[in-house]
């Protein structure tokens, strides 16, 4: 009887190992959790045509999936708009208010998209949609760098990327300064790091 049980145990082990190998071979997508301590979307915007103002958002969460074998993946970011930071407290307060982001009514912005343009297993772009101020519009990101390494402390894979795009803020209802000739183009840059989910 013990031999029978042992044979069944061995068969079960072999079967589970085979299933695991098949999953690896087919390139099952892996999930990565955004690291809020190393992810800071930033932006550049015109100020009356005489200077460029820069700011960032201090709190972002979300998840990335990546299937290197299938050359596919997804991005899902949630940005806390009340965490906007120009390095100037008065401007931060104004930007959170109803005259601009209206963070009380629209507390978050989201970006959701699909990774694409894979070269040697590395994505070079994201086709996605930005939801901001109650408006959702397509915004395509260009990925200028992307790399994955073993996290030295967590012992799980860590991936990082730098991506960017340009969009018009008035298309999202953010028209402050437009009547004064402010350029509505905004340069968006997303510095992101994500750790493989346990």
Q: What percent of the chain has pLDDT over 90?
A: 84
pLDDT at 16: 36
Q: What are the extents of the domains in the chain?
A: 28-196
Does the structure show a pLDDT above 60 at 24? Answer: no
Provide the 10 A C-beta neighbour count for residue 118.
17
Q: Does residue 100 register a pLDDT over 50? A: yes
Residues 76 and 48: beta-carbon distance below 8 Å: no
Eight-class DSSP state of 103: T
Calculate mean pLDDT across residues 58-79. Answer: 97
CATH number of 28-196, picked from 3.10.110.10, 2.60.40.2310, 2.40.128.110, 3.20.20.80: 2.40.128.110
Report the distance separating Cα 76 and Cα 62, nearest Å. Answer: 5
What's the chain's average pLDDT? 89
Residue with more model confidence, 183 or 17: 183
Put simply, whether the predicted model's pTM sits higher than 0.75 gets the answer yes
Place 141 in a pLDDT band, splitting at 50, 70 and 90: very high
């Amino acid at each position: 009887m013990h031999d029978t049980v042992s044979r069944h145990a061995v068969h079960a082990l072999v079967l589970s190992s085979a299933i695991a190998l098949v999953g690896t071979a087919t390139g099952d997508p892996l999930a990565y959790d955004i690291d809020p301590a190393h992810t800071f979307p930033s932006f550049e915007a015109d100020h009356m045509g005489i200077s460029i103002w820069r700011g960032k958002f201090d709190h972002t969460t979300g998840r990335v999936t990546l299937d290197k074998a299938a050359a596919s993946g997804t991005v899902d970011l949630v940005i806390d708009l009340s965490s906007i930071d120009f390095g100037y407290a008065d401007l931060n307060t104004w930007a959170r208010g109803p005259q601009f982001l209206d963070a009380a009514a629209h507390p978050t912005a989201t970006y959701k998209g699909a990774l694409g343009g894979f070269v040697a297993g590395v994505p070079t772009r994201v086709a996605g949609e930005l939801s901001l101020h109650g408006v959702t519009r397509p915004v395509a990101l260009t990925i200028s760098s992307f790399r994955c390494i073993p996290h030295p402390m967590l012992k799980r894979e860590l991936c990082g990327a730098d991506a960017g795009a340009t969009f018009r803020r008035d298309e999202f209802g953010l028209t402050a300064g437009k009547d004064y000739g402010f350029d509505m183009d905004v340069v968006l840059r997303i510095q992101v790091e994500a750790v493989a989910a346990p």
